[in-house]
Amino acid sequence: MASEWGGNRMDLARRLLAEGCALPDDAVPSVVARSWARSLRIGRSIRDKVIFNPVAGTARKQLEEQHHAVLVRALPKLECLAAMLDQDEWAVSFIDGSGTVVSTLRPDYPRFRGLKMAFRPGVNLGESAAGTTGPACAMAEERTVVISGHEHFLDEAAQFTCSSAPIFDPQGGLLGVVNASRHYLGGPAGVAAAVEETSHHIEAGLIEAIPDSICLDVSLALANCVTGAGVLALSQDGVLVGSNRQARDLLCMERVLRAEFADLFGVRFGIVLDRLRTGTSGLLTLRNREGLLLCIRMHAGTDRPEAAIALPRREELPRCDLLPPELEPKVQGLLKAFRRDVPILLNGRTGTGKEELAKWLHAHGPRARGPFIAINCASIPAALIESELFGYEPGAFTGAAPKGMVGKLQQADGGTLFLDELGDMPYELQSRLLRVLQERKVCRVGGAHEYGTDFSLVSATHRDLRAMVQCGAFREDLFYRVLGLRLGLPDLNGRSDFLCVVDRILATIRLPNGNAPRLTAKALQILQDCDWPGNIRQLAQVLKVAAAVCPHGVIDVPHLAADLSDRGAAPPESPARALDAAEALVIREALARHRGNVSAAAKDLSIARATLYKKLRDYRIRPVR
């Protein structure tokens, strides 16, 4: 782009510019002509003095504080660029989106004085202040630009040559400029490619710094070769939150839209991550919306400083009040792993809150907008569990629904699958489940077509799966597939927050006046002294029954189940029968509230629908609508 300084063409162009006359079409490069015209329109004169004016002494510190998050990423790249250039000749700078110099790497040599003054932090080289400059044109044109000698608008800038490349933030907005400048010696400045490459590296670093994101490289697939340097940043649930220019070009996007990965490539994000992490090549080929074949791989960037960039702030992980406070650090680690599609295994006896914790993980996980599908592998009859899990095609067996049925594994697509009492799953079905977890495809009973399904996975059991593997009762390959991160849930008797559990249950119970019931001190003491083989589930049912029979909303000793309230005397019935009676009463009340709707009652009771049907049969309760 550079012209011969002092040549006849440039001399004529400068005279016409000073007189405010129109320029011939080929007088100067089009980029320069457009910038000159804009500079005139805003009232600049070629004789203005701007570049060497004094700058406030506090400007550098203020600018560095303002742009600290970006400088953390940019300075190492600028230092690499400066090392490639002759440091006796070149000044390397980061200039912000307003055109103001933020930081310059420059040696302290006497002959460097002019550059040192011109690129001090606080000097404004934007078009509104200094007319045509390299940084100003790079921002206006949104591409790499070289401005040399009298191509600058101001006479005082004619002694420099500037190679400038824009920097875009991960959402596609203009962030600033990488600039390399030296005294103009005539002829072209052949550093534009290095300056542009530096801007790309800075952009990639900004994408890597997006909190809680997963970065992928995207490139053209040419004869099995990987080319290009596109980088995508996606949230844990597969929403595009950032990208660089190369990636946006490959995806035919001008700016980053909060698009789903599946909308960009036609395949679910979880499936792609699973294949990238478990495949041998580390590469996948996918087509974009225009049909262009692209290569996808995990991004290898590792330079993640503690300082976050000026993008959405890292959210604090939500607290979980379902477990004792001493388990909070483990639960936080569990949630972090879950958000990265790591399967979760919960161990605990019946009633310890495994399903409630699974629902909490789902609500704060990567697929919270999808369904939560719970399957109790122990409560479904062996003859029905296959069709419940996998679904079936029309006519698959005698009595099958005419239109077939979608199984639970397919219903969980886009959400969370909760496999409760996994240790009770029939051995012959474990291999089929393993294949679904590996391939994320479901084949219904009686059919040959495979349906895609993508979900987060939480499993739970009261059994020792490792011991079951050793004795041949549970498949070893399935065990390691569901064992991503494990957490053991404590029994109610061993919880340090027993009173909090009681308060939380009472808060869910509503009396006819809309208030929650209260406990007397004596009743609370009995609850604390009691053994709870049914854990939280048993405690909840006891409190619901007591709330139903107590007057004035105050639960006292006589309102507790006989085996609790009269601990010193022989109970009139066995504890098991008393518990069954309490449970049956709670179920009848739930059905009454929902006018016999079993699904709504099951949701109200926080149990699976299949579990409720089993209890209805056990207690001989018939739901009446």
Convert the pLDDT of each residue in 314-373 to its tens digit: 445 677 878 888 888 888 888 988 888 888 999 998 888 899 999 999 999 989 989 999
Radius of gyration of the chain (CA): 34
Q: Please report, as a single letter, which amino acid is at residue 58.
A: T
CATH 3.30.450.40 fits 8-206, yes or no: yes
Contact indicator for 343, 439 with CB cutoff of 8 Å: no
Give pLDDT, residue 112. 57
Q: Mind listing the pLDDT tens digit for each residue in 132-154?
A: 999 999 999 999 999 999 999 99
Contact indicator for 212, 314 with CB cutoff of 8 Å: yes
pLDDT band, residue 110 (cuts 50/70/90)? low
- In this predicted structure, the answer to whether residue 527 has a pLDDT above a threshold of 90 is no
Fold agreement (214-298, 325-488): no
Interacting residues of 461 by C-beta distance below 8 A, sequence separation 6+: 345, 346, 347, 420, 421, 422, 423, 424
Determine the topology of domain 492-619 in CATH. Helicase, Ruva Protein; domain 3 (1.10.8)
DSSP state of 260: B
DSSP-derived pairing of the beta strands 405-406 and 391-392: antiparallel
Q: What's the rounded Cα separation, in Å, for the pair 226 and 239?
A: 24
Angle ∠(575,356,348) on CA atoms, nearest 5: 60
Contact indicator for 545, 586 with CB cutoff of 8 Å: yes
Angle between helices 598-605 and 575-593 (to 10 degrees): 120
- In this predicted structure, the answer to whether residue 312 has a pLDDT above a threshold of 50 is no
Give pLDDT, residue 138. 95
What are the residue ranges spanned by the domains of the chain?
Answer: 8-206, 214-298, 325-488, 492-619
pLDDT band, residue 305 (cuts 50/70/90)? very low
Say what percent of the chain tops pLDDT 70: 86
pLDDT band, residue 50 (cuts 50/70/90)? confident
Give pLDDT, residue 134. 94
- Cα dihedral across residues 567, 568, 571, 572: positive or negative: negative
- In this predicted structure, the answer to whether residue 488 has a pLDDT above a threshold of 70 is yes
Can you point out the beta strands (E) in 270-369? 284-287, 293-298, 344-347
Give pLDDT, residue 358. 94
- In this predicted structure, the answer to whether residue 571 has a pLDDT above a threshold of 70 is no
- In this predicted structure, the answer to whether residue 51 has a pLDDT above a threshold of 70 is yes
Give pLDDT, residue 108. 56
Say what percent of the chain tops pLDDT 90: 16
Give pLDDT, residue 315. 45
Residue where the block lists tokens 């070629």: 46
What phi and psi values does residue 118 have, to the nearest 5 degrees? -70, -30
pLDDT band, residue 199 (cuts 50/70/90)? very high
Give pLDDT, residue 302. 35
Q: What is the mean pLDDT of residues 27-34?
A: 88
Ranges 185-189, 235-239, 602-606, most confident: 235-239
pLDDT band, residue 308 (cuts 50/70/90)? very low
Give pLDDT, residue 400. 73
Q: Worst-scoring range by mean pLDDT, 25-29, 380-384, 503-507?
A: 380-384
Ranges 115-129, 290-304, 555-569, 606-620, most confident: 115-129
Q: What's the rounded Cα separation, in Å, for the pair 61 and 102?
A: 9
Give pLDDT, residue 405. 85
Q: Mind listing the pLDDT tens digit for each residue in 273-282?
A: 888 877 666 7
SS3 233: strand
Q: What's the rounded Cα separation, in Å, for the pair 373 and 411?
A: 7
Contact indicator for 174, 245 with CB cutoff of 8 Å: no
- Between 505 and 401, whose confidence is greater? 505
Give pLDDT, residue 252. 81
Interacting residues of 246 by C-beta distance below 8 A, sequence separation 6+: 200, 218, 228, 229, 230, 231
Q: What is the mean pLDDT of residues 52-71?
A: 78
Give pLDDT, residue 489. 92
Give pLDDT, residue 563. 60
Give pLDDT, residue 441. 86
Give pLDDT, residue 171. 87
Q: What is the mean pLDDT of residues 371-394?
A: 82
pLDDT band, residue 565 (cuts 50/70/90)? low
DSSP-derived pairing of the beta strands 416-420 and 456-461: parallel
Q: Mind listing the pLDDT tens digit for each residue in 420-461?
A: 999 988 888 888 888 888 888 888 888 878 888 889 999 999
- In this predicted structure, the answer to whether residue 3 has a pLDDT above a threshold of 70 is no
Give pLDDT, residue 186. 77
- Between 117 and 296, whose confidence is greater? 296
- In this predicted structure, the answer to whether residue 4 has a pLDDT above a threshold of 50 is no
214-298 — its CATH code?
3.30.450
DSSP state of 557: G
Q: What's the rounded Cα separation, in Å, for the pair 84 and 93?
A: 14
Please give the mean pLDDT across all residues of the chain: 81
DSSP-derived pairing of the beta strands 450-452 and 441-443: antiparallel
DSSP state of 118: H
- In this predicted structure, the answer to whether residue 225 has a pLDDT above a threshold of 60 is no
Q: Three-class SS string for 453-492?
A: CCCEEEEEECCCHHHHHHCCCCCHHHHHHHCCEEEECCCH
Give pLDDT, residue 624. 60
- Between 284 and 345, whose confidence is greater? 345
470 C-beta neighbours (distance < 10 Å), count: 11
Contact indicator for 340, 510 with CB cutoff of 8 Å: no
- In this predicted structure, the answer to whether residue 311 has a pLDDT above a threshold of 60 is no
Give pLDDT, residue 418. 94
Determine the topology of domain 325-488 in CATH. Rossmann fold (3.40.50)
pLDDT band, residue 382 (cuts 50/70/90)? low
Give pLDDT, residue 355. 92
